[in-house]
A and B are shown apart, each in its own frame.
Chain A
Amino acid sequence: MADQHDVETTGHQWDSEEGYPLKEFNNPLPRWWLYSFYATVIWAVVYWVLYPAWPMLDGYTKGMLGWSMHQEFAQDSKAALAQKKASNDRLEKLSLKEIARDNSLLQHAMSGGKAIFGDFCAPCHGSGGVGVKAGGFPTLADDDWLFGGDLDTIYETIDKGRDGAMPAHLQGAGGAFSEAQVNDLTEYVLSLSKRSQDAAAAQRGDQLFHGEAGCNGCHGDLGNGSIKGTVAGSPAPPVGAPNLTDAVWLYGSDPAVVRASIAKGRTGHMPAWGSGAKETGKRLTPLQIKQLALYVHGLGGGQ
């Protein structure tokens, strides 16, 4: 610090009466600071000339470099595509079955599928497809399929989406059956997985299931689901009616939940991600859907 007597002051002075004059020094700015400041001013002017900068009354100055955010984005995307072109071309050309036979290509496709699954599918199917706590979202890592577990069916499910329509059966909720009849149907459904407590009610439910209520039209004569069901004239394409005889439940195994499914109906919705989706819903390319189909098929239950 320079001796205070040598430094110019601004002329402001306080407290002079007390004998301790408080003065404002007018020290010069440090050189390094001053020159950095001038440099930033010059840089700002250079920036205005090179890059888009100043708004004008109708438009803005475009800058000499012609740089634009959207152009850079387009180039980035193109470069990324070009980089993956060799392997992607093969995946695009070959059919799902052909890819599945080529082990290294399959591994490549599945690792891509795994990343996409994490972003788009895991919120409903759980990471790794193991399912989530909330009811209504099927596990994909088992061999219990609603619509089918072969590669082409899985592809179609992802591409076009699926809607499970289980009608309501209780009077007042949109159905035609009384409380007692719905209880009987519930009892019969529970008996299919050997959990019935009331054989007589299950017997009455059996009559309804295969008769008046026509549950077997979707769930199959044996109640083992629309893709396994043995009923003649069972609706095609598959309606996605679950197997009611096993331990895997879409909405939950609790008798009250089973009863709610029958009474009020269910409308599980698997969104479409490709050709079946509306414009902004086409979030995935055919190539990505292929990778996903191979990944899901490889989760454990592929057929």
Chain B
Amino acid sequence: MKHDTIERSIPLMVILTLVLISIGGIVEIVPLFFIKSTIEKVEGMRPYTPLELVGRDIYIREGCYNCHSQMIRPFRDEAERYGHYSLAAESMYDHPFQWGSKRTGPDLARIGGKYSNMWHQAHMQHPQSVVPESVMPSYPWLKKSPLKYEDIEKRMQVLAMVGVPYSAEQIANAKKDLQAQASASSDASGLSQRYGNKVPKDDFDGQPDQISELDALLAYLQMLGTLVDFSSYQAQAR
């Protein structure tokens, strides 16, 4: 076929272009669905609790990913500052994942437990009150906005459709679990039965009488990178 023929027929050109691009796409993407070794076998991974899940949505809404990555690369300087390099397994329930590569601020893949809730409260309210030279913007409205979570079951159902293993029981108890996690004094036996007893449960925003957006965001930040049990993880050469 002469290129003359192709160039003079728009439908033919479109079809052939699509064929060419899909070959590249298929070669790159399809094997990833079969390669078992892309996701390590680790202990400790669980889907996000309802509160963490809404917090993650706020993280995305506020565009935190524009300045923060969540991916510690296997380099010594990164490991010394941020901790063990990230594993694929750690973001297997992320839709969409938050790896990123823009680092105006530090990587947050293992921020969980690094600071107290009190520090995060001050930092989100006005970052310069704790880090004078910070260029991070203030997010004072998070503390004041009551958390909206009427549709939490739907959000979980959608994730279940793309493969996050939420059980029917977890979805049915979503609101109850969310409220239990956002309070320091509530009964959380159901929450820990459904998500494990390591789930941090607290009055994250320091305002016991309301569940704010800050509660959800901090619950999310405080669990980041804390799930995998690295004592049982054997590094495979990759």
Q: Which A residues have a C-beta under 8 Å from some C-beta of B?
A: 10-12, 55-60, 68-74, 76-77, 80, 119-120, 122-124, 126, 132-134, 136-137, 267-271, 277-281, 283
- Tell me if A280 and B226 are in contact (CB < 8 A): yes
- Tell me if B130 and A271 are in contact (CB < 8 A): no
- Tell me if B83 and A283 are in contact (CB < 8 A): yes
Choose from B74, B110, B113, B118 the contact partner of A69 (Cβ within 8 Å).
B74
Q: Does B61 make an interface contact (CB < 8 A)?
A: no
| CA A136 to CA B31, docked complex, whole Å | 52
Write 7 A-B pairs (CB below 8 A) sorted by A numbering: A55-B27, A74-B235, A136-B118, A137-B119, A280-B112, A281-B113, A283-B114
Q: Which B residues have a C-beta under 8 Å from some C-beta of A?
A: 4, 27-28, 31-32, 34-37, 74-76, 79, 81, 83-85, 110, 112-119, 122-123, 126, 128-132, 198, 225-226, 228-231, 235-238
Instruction: Output the least CB separation between B43 and chain A (Å).
Output: 11
Q: Which residue of A lies closest to B126 (CB)?
A: A134
Q: Which residues of A contact B128 (CB under 8 A)?
A: 133
Given contacts A70-B237, A73-B75, A134-B129, 14 further A-B contacts (CB under 8 A): A55-B28, A57-B31, A57-B35, A59-B37, A69-B238, A70-B235, A70-B238, A76-B75, A132-B129, A133-B130, A134-B122, A271-B115, A280-B112, A283-B114
Q: Which residue of B lies closest to A288 (CB)?
A: B80
Q: Which residues of B contact A58 (CB under 8 A)?
A: 34-37
Q: Which residue of A lies closest to B185 (CB)?
A: A174
CB-based A-B contact count at 8 angstroms: 108
Choose from B76, B112, B122 the contact partner of A77 (Cβ within 8 Å).
B76
Q: Which residues of A contact B225 (CB under 8 A)?
A: 280
Q: A11-B4, A280-B226 are in contact. Are A132 and B130 (CB under 8 A)?
A: yes
Choose from B81, B116, B126 the contact partner of A119 (Cβ within 8 Å).
B81
- Tell me if A124 and B34 are in contact (CB < 8 A): no
Q: Which residue of B lies closest to A273 (CB)?
A: B114
Kindly list the 5 A-B residue pairs having the minimum CB-CB distance in the complex, ordered from nearest.
A55-B31, A134-B122, A269-B116, A73-B74, A134-B129
Q: Which residue of A lies closest to B113 (CB)?
A: A281
| CA A99 to CA B113, docked complex, whole Å | 31
Main secondary structure of the interface of A (DSSP, over half): mixed
- Tell me if A280 and B228 are in contact (CB < 8 A): yes
Q: Which residue of B lies closest to A55 (CB)?
A: B31
| CA A22 to CA B228, docked complex, whole Å | 66
Q: Which residues of A contact B118 (CB under 8 A)?
A: 136, 267-269
- Tell me if A73 and B114 are in contact (CB < 8 A): no
Q: Which residues of A contact B226 (CB under 8 A)?
A: 278-281
Instruction: Output the least CB separation between B205 and chain A (Å).
Output: 14
Instruction: Output the least CB separation between A119 and chain B (Å).
Output: 6
| CA A59 to CA B31, docked complex, whole Å | 8
| CA A11 to CA B4, docked complex, whole Å | 9
| CA A12 to CA B2, docked complex, whole Å | 13
| CA A137 to CA B120, docked complex, whole Å | 12
Q: Which residues of A contact B37 (CB under 8 A)?
A: 58-60
Q: A68-B237, A278-B226, A280-B228 are in contact. Are A123 and B131 (CB under 8 A)?
A: yes
Instruction: Output the least CB separation between B181 and chain A (Å).
Output: 17
Q: A73-B74, A133-B129, A133-B130 are in contact. Are A280 and B4 (CB under 8 A)?
A: no
- Tell me if B116 and A271 are in contact (CB < 8 A): yes
Q: Which residue of B lies closest to A133 (CB)?
A: B129
| CA A283 to CA B27, docked complex, whole Å | 40
| CA A278 to CA B199, docked complex, whole Å | 12
| CA A12 to CA B225, docked complex, whole Å | 60
| CA A95 to CA B130, docked complex, whole Å | 33
Q: A11-B4, A134-B122, A134-B130 are in contact. Are A280 and B83 (CB under 8 A)?
A: yes
Choose from B32, B112, B230 the contact partner of A55 (Cβ within 8 Å).
B32
Instruction: Output the least CB separation between A285 and chain B (Å).
Output: 10
| CA A271 to CA B128, docked complex, whole Å | 21
Q: Which residues of A contact B119 (CB under 8 A)?
A: 123-124, 134, 137
